[in-house]
Amino acid sequence: MEITISPTERELLLEILEEHHRELLREIARTRHRDFKLVLKRKEELLESIFQRLEVEQPAEEVLQPL
């Protein structure tokens, strides 16, 4: 599946991902259960990977590939 997004949509998506990333980092810091913390850290790694791919300069119309 591919999703084509405009530069404006890309910026909004990046903003949403940044906000969620900050919330996830706070949750990781507050979590005491080791196994749950590992799950959250894996989610953070995936989120960072997606974010990095979106940060790369793209053409005016972008196509997002599935993971």
pLDDT tens track for 15-60: 999 999 999 999 999 999 999 999 999 999 999 998 888 887 554 4
Domain count along the chain: 1
> 0.75 cut: is pTM over it?
no
Q: What is the pLDDT of residue 3?
A: 81
Question: Distance (Å, rounded) from C-alpha 23 to C-alpha 27?
Answer: 6
Q: Which range of residues forms the domain containing residue 10? A: 3-64
* Nearest one of 67, 62, 24, 17 to 42, comparing CA atoms: 24
Higher pLDDT, 4 or 58: 4
Q: What is the pLDDT of residue 63?
A: 52
